[in-house]
Amino acid sequence: MEEEQTRDQIFEEINKERDYQDQKWGVEFDDRNTLNDWATYINIYLGHAADMNNIDDPDKQRLFLLKVASLAVAALETLDRNNGFAPRHYESVDIVV
Protein backbone atom coordinates (compact mmCIF):
# COMPACT_ATOMS: atom_id res chain seq x y z
CA MET A 1 0.00 0.00 0.00
CA GLU A 2 1.49 3.29 -1.05
CA GLU A 3 -0.16 5.72 1.34
CA GLU A 4 -1.98 5.48 4.62
CA GLN A 5 -5.72 5.51 4.19
CA THR A 6 -7.95 7.72 6.27
CA ARG A 7 -11.15 6.31 7.72
CA ASP A 8 -13.20 8.39 5.26
CA GLN A 9 -11.21 6.95 2.33
CA ILE A 10 -11.78 3.42 3.62
CA PHE A 11 -15.51 4.07 4.00
CA GLU A 12 -15.56 5.40 0.43
CA GLU A 13 -13.96 2.16 -0.77
CA ILE A 14 -16.60 0.19 1.13
CA ASN A 15 -19.32 2.30 -0.54
CA LYS A 16 -17.82 1.61 -3.98
CA GLU A 17 -17.70 -2.12 -3.26
CA ARG A 18 -21.33 -1.99 -2.08
CA ASP A 19 -22.31 -0.25 -5.32
CA TYR A 20 -20.54 -3.02 -7.25
CA GLN A 21 -22.30 -5.71 -5.21
CA ASP A 22 -25.70 -4.08 -5.71
CA GLN A 23 -25.10 -3.88 -9.47
CA LYS A 24 -24.04 -7.51 -9.59
CA TRP A 25 -26.57 -9.11 -7.23
CA GLY A 26 -29.33 -6.57 -6.54
CA VAL A 27 -31.27 -6.04 -3.34
CA GLU A 28 -33.75 -8.78 -4.23
CA PHE A 29 -30.96 -11.34 -3.88
CA ASP A 30 -29.81 -9.78 -0.62
CA ASP A 31 -33.34 -9.83 0.80
CA ARG A 32 -33.51 -13.61 0.39
CA ASN A 33 -30.37 -14.20 2.50
CA THR A 34 -30.71 -15.52 6.01
CA LEU A 35 -28.44 -14.40 8.82
CA ASN A 36 -26.63 -17.73 8.36
CA ASP A 37 -26.08 -16.91 4.67
CA TRP A 38 -24.51 -13.56 5.56
CA ALA A 39 -22.30 -15.13 8.21
CA THR A 40 -21.15 -17.73 5.68
CA TYR A 41 -20.29 -15.15 3.00
CA ILE A 42 -18.41 -13.02 5.52
CA ASN A 43 -16.52 -15.99 6.92
CA ILE A 44 -15.48 -17.17 3.46
CA TYR A 45 -13.83 -13.83 2.67
CA LEU A 46 -12.39 -13.52 6.17
CA GLY A 47 -10.87 -16.96 5.69
CA HIS A 48 -9.31 -15.83 2.41
CA ALA A 49 -7.78 -12.82 4.18
CA ALA A 50 -6.28 -15.07 6.85
CA ASP A 51 -5.16 -17.78 4.42
CA MET A 52 -1.49 -18.67 4.75
CA ASN A 53 -1.06 -18.14 0.99
CA ASN A 54 -1.83 -14.46 1.58
CA ILE A 55 0.21 -13.99 4.74
CA ASP A 56 2.86 -11.96 2.92
CA ASP A 57 0.47 -10.11 0.61
CA PRO A 58 -1.15 -7.17 2.41
CA ASP A 59 -2.87 -6.07 -0.81
CA LYS A 60 -4.78 -9.37 -1.03
CA GLN A 61 -5.53 -9.30 2.69
CA ARG A 62 -6.87 -5.78 2.31
CA LEU A 63 -9.02 -6.73 -0.69
CA PHE A 64 -10.62 -9.60 1.21
CA LEU A 65 -11.15 -7.48 4.33
CA LEU A 66 -12.82 -4.84 2.15
CA LYS A 67 -15.19 -7.55 0.92
CA VAL A 68 -15.87 -8.57 4.55
CA ALA A 69 -16.72 -4.99 5.54
CA SER A 70 -18.91 -4.51 2.47
CA LEU A 71 -20.80 -7.74 3.11
CA ALA A 72 -21.39 -6.71 6.71
CA VAL A 73 -22.83 -3.41 5.47
CA ALA A 74 -25.03 -5.30 2.99
CA ALA A 75 -26.32 -7.49 5.82
CA LEU A 76 -27.10 -4.41 7.92
CA GLU A 77 -28.89 -2.78 4.98
CA THR A 78 -30.96 -5.93 4.48
CA LEU A 79 -31.80 -6.13 8.18
CA ASP A 80 -32.87 -2.49 8.29
CA ARG A 81 -34.80 -2.63 5.01
CA ASN A 82 -36.79 -5.72 6.03
CA ASN A 83 -36.83 -5.38 9.81
CA GLY A 84 -35.13 -8.77 9.98
CA PHE A 85 -33.60 -11.46 7.80
CA ALA A 86 -35.26 -14.06 5.60
CA PRO A 87 -36.26 -17.10 7.61
CA ARG A 88 -34.08 -20.18 7.46
CA HIS A 89 -35.60 -23.00 5.43
CA TYR A 90 -36.61 -24.93 8.54
CA GLU A 91 -38.19 -21.84 10.13
CA SER A 92 -40.57 -21.17 7.24
CA VAL A 93 -42.11 -24.62 6.98
CA ASP A 94 -44.92 -25.83 9.21
CA ILE A 95 -43.88 -29.21 10.59
CA VAL A 96 -46.71 -31.54 11.46
CA VAL A 97 -45.91 -34.00 14.20
Query: Whole-model pTM?
Result: 0.85
DSSP 57: -
Burial class of 13 by CB neighbour count within 10 A (0 to 12, 13 to 18, 19+):
middle
**What residue type is 64 in one-letter code?**
F
CA 89 to chain centroid: 21
- Tally the residues of the chain: 97
More confident residue, 54 or 8: 8
* pLDDT score, position 57: 95
CA 31 to chain centroid: 13
For 20-75, write each residue's pLDDT tens digit: 999 999 999 999 999 999 999 999 999 999 999 988 999 999 999 999 999 999 99
* pLDDT score, position 74: 98
